[in-house]
Chains A and B, each alone.
Chain A
């Protein structure tokens, strides 16, 4: 056991980094920007550490309760990359909003640590531990701007509802332990059969808890308020990282211990998926706040990712992972644009604030144009390919109803993306925004937009990487 500890070197590294930064924070005054800087660097190091693991063969630790395989490593890489970009884009934002405390980067790191544990977990208890570490950090982050009543509200709301869902999840875990006689995924799979209703109940409870974490309909109510109330930098974090982790757990949970019971859970996933796609498309139409709109649109996007998961094929799982990757890139790009809407040290986040942006900020508007068309899934941008892979997998399994609903909600959601484009390009212009953005923000926006724009030239780069992830 001990000789395998090098496999969890990245996790150990992050834990040590967190403790070190806490000590620095305690003993050195005004060290918040130093800690922020160091955390970004440590995420880079984490990325570098993880990079080697992608070529390793599958292995597990601690009585098979912790698994290092391609899926885990890839998702951890995604987490690390998004963490780096989140830190890069939001440094100025947290300074101007006076939330640049030392706890901020430390909380982000601890929640990333929690996610890494979740991603690698092969045991219900390990999984729950990671989930709680992640969630507790997120509760604090949501209410980090404590003088702002909306931020406090969102933190409290997220805490109460999330605690409820964690409770349900834990209840599901205990049911499964009761009926399958183990908490380890590899043991559970040998003790499952579809006729066992206790297990089905357990699965349902766990799926409810997970659906809450990725804000799938009908467990989405918290998302719009939390997205809107939290500081934008935290919203960006919310929109990406917990979803990567939760989706991985979804994959692992459905396809390792309960792969034999897919007749039981498939219908649930299809329902979650259809509900999310339709609701996300329809409910976003009336929104005027961009962060709230992103909340609804991310509900919709999660619906597409789940559609890929419902297929019970490797292609389906891979398409979900591709979707998630492209989704997080699009969200990073979109939030970078939000961070650029700054005038006189305050940030703007309503759709009207974009009015006539194209006259004064042609490059920013062009990026938004690309990002929004990509979110709407119009070819030849990356967002189209994300959806294309999903529908390839879904139609392979002859799930035409799901495909048709999905594509129709694409058309509905195109409407609200178009409306933003309309405001940017067709409406009269307003005052200029500041243009002196820091390098990290510009870099992120440039890199993500270029990725979205030229993805179609060489789509194999991403698919070849992900096609190595084989679950079933």
Chain B
């Protein structure tokens, strides 16, 4: 296979962005740039579906690897995928077209620049999920900050400047330590190639510090308690499409990073720090769920629920069991779909009423029955009701957790109940009840394009809820391989110590 399919995936959105930048006029009425962007992102989606189709699920190694000399002598541009990354790439390429379709009403000025920013984001996100070199990974990981900073800052709400700065500086602070760790790894082992590093391993005496440096970056990005405070701000102020990208994909970069790098490169340190992760994850699950209960702003509520859901993800990853890690991956995919859908739903209301306050709404079921049905599916998906994709993820994570630590699993299960509480309460307050507000009567139900967007999200949520086989199938080999490698390293280290 000589065709560089992964590089095409990475570069296609950038080419689209350049095309829009140079050729499309920036007048407000002229929408052709939107069609170009949509076309490019759909093409990318089809390309990634094709990639999924030809991807060999039984193969343990990285596939479609491309290796080019880049920084002379020591760092190569190396990309490739395994069963874990292919799912995240699919999620990215699936969410971006939806963002672009939904962009219409929320972004009124500078539509062209907005689309360019989103397409550049797509490049960076795909790059993160398939880079097989630490420096290349860092490059994509950090470069995503620039378009996101602009998306929040230019097209955001009232406190956009504060939120954009907070987002940028928090994330940058976290990741500079990772840069030091990456360079240290280069000098310790002589390479930053992930595949080679998997083979040769890193000296256990350095692992703890390196793990902490990577952790500082991923913890901010996940976000874990107590560095999660940038997320609600960023979500509330970002435009709908920005929130969707942030919740659905950006947060997953950290979860992916934990699996690929923390577990894969520093198994001994990961084992050592398991209690820390459990502790922070449980706080995230319980505490942010309680905080979510008290929110009056819909977007903020969903943002806090994201923190709680990502708490499950980190918990699942560090159970180091097959169920736990697979559950985390599925939970991330499912959360990507559900949170995107929820933010879009809030966007629909905000477009019509220009407020996100929960107490301004009630009794929407009388006026917008279709919306009520759609939101019902998403709410249940967020709760993790059997039959939605959320259930599969949470169930597997808890299964993995029970295997390892009964107490932790029990407390985490409480989080599921709290999750149901805040989501159902939100649904009850917004959808049921009487129409208290006169303005609400003027609302119109979902338009055709919105129905299209929402049904394209409802379908995978339900489909993977009933039939998660395709997801599990593609990650299974890679996850088993990862765990084997992990256990091998731990046992080796124990032998060495004796």
Contacts and interface: CB of A to CB of B under 8 A. Distances in A.
Given A422-B161, A425-B150, A459-B70, A411 B139 contact: no
B168 interface: yes
Contacts of B169: 411, 414-415, 418
A415 B164 CA distance: 11
B361 interface: no
Contact of B146 (A378, A408, A411): A378
B183 A373 contact: no
Contacts of B176: 407-408, 410-411
Contacts of B142: 378-379, 384
A414 B172 contact: yes
Contact of B179 (A391, A463, A467): A391
Contact of A379 (B69, B143, B186): B143
A400 interface: yes
B180 interface: yes
B153 A407 contact: no
Contacts of A421: 149, 153
Interface string A404-432: 10011011001100100110011000000
B145 interface: yes
A9 to B, nearest CB: 32
Nearest to A393: B183
Contacts of A384: 139, 142
Interface string A386-412: 001001100110001001100110110
A345 interface: no
Interface size class on chain B is 20 to 34
A440 interface: no
B180 A418 contact: no
A456 interface: yes
Given A373-B146, A425-B154, A400 B180 contact: yes
A379 B171 CA distance: 13
Contact of A459 (B71, B164, B184): B71
Nearest to B171: A411
A418 B173 contact: no
B152 to A, nearest CB: 10
Contacts of A463: 71-72
Given A407-B176, A414-B168, A379 B187 contact: no
B453 interface: no
A403 B180 CA distance: 7
Contact of A426 (B139, B146, B154, B184): B154
Interface string A459-472: 11001100100000
In this complex, the member of B153, B172, B173, B186 whose beta carbon has the largest number of chain A beta carbons within 10 angstroms is B172
A25 interface: no
A422 B153 contact: yes
A254 to B, nearest CB: 23
B138 interface: yes
Contacts of A418: 149, 164-165, 168-169
Contact of B183 (A379, A392, A408): A392
A392 B143 contact: no
B146 A415 contact: no
B143 A380 contact: yes
Nearest to B142: A379
Contacts of B172: 378, 410-411, 414
Interface residues of A, number: 31
A456 B68 CA distance: 13
A284 to B, nearest CB: 15
A411 B149 contact: no
A379 B145 CA distance: 9
A418 B139 CA distance: 19
B160 interface: yes
Interface string A437-465: 00000000000000000001001100110
Interface in B153-195: 153-154, 160-161, 164-165, 168-169, 172-173, 176-177, 179-180, 183-184, 186-187
A411 B142 CA distance: 12
B307 to A, nearest CB: 23
Interface string B396-435: 0000000000000000000000000000000000000000
B498 to A, nearest CB: 30
Nearest to A464: B72
Contacts of A410: 172, 176
Contacts of A396: 187
Contacts of B70: 459-460
Contact of B173 (A362, A388, A411): A411
Given A408-B176, A464-B72, A395 B183 contact: yes
Contacts of B150: 425
A421 B149 CA distance: 10
Nearest to A394: B183
A422 to B, nearest CB: 6
A362 B109 CA distance: 14
Nearest to A427: B161
Contacts of A404: 177, 180
A460 B72 contact: yes
A391 B165 CA distance: 25
A81 to B, nearest CB: 23
Contacts of A400: 180, 184
Contacts of A388: 135, 179, 183
A388 B153 CA distance: 27
A324 to B, nearest CB: 19
A404 B209 CA distance: 13
A391 B185 CA distance: 13
A53 to B, nearest CB: 24
Nearest to A463: B72
A456 B161 contact: no
A415 B165 contact: yes
B146 A460 contact: no
B110 to A, nearest CB: 8
A395 B172 CA distance: 19
B180 A391 contact: yes
B180 A380 contact: no
Nearest to A422: B161
Given A378-B142, A403-B180, A404-B177, 4 more contacts: A391-B180, A421-B149, A426-B154, A426-B164
8 contacts: A378-B143, A379-B138, A388-B135, A395-B180, A400-B180, A410-B176, A422-B153, A460-B72
Interface of B: 26, 69-72, 135, 138-139, 142-143, 145-146, 149-150, 153-154, 160-161, 164-165, 168-169, 172-173, 176-177, 179-180, 183-184, 186-187
Interface of A: 362, 373, 378-380, 384, 388, 391-392, 395-396, 400, 403-404, 407-408, 410-411, 414-415, 418, 421-422, 425-426, 456, 459-460, 463-464, 467
The 6 lowest CB-CB distance pairs between A and B, nearest first, are A407-B176, A460-B72, A379-B139, A395-B183, A379-B142, A411-B173
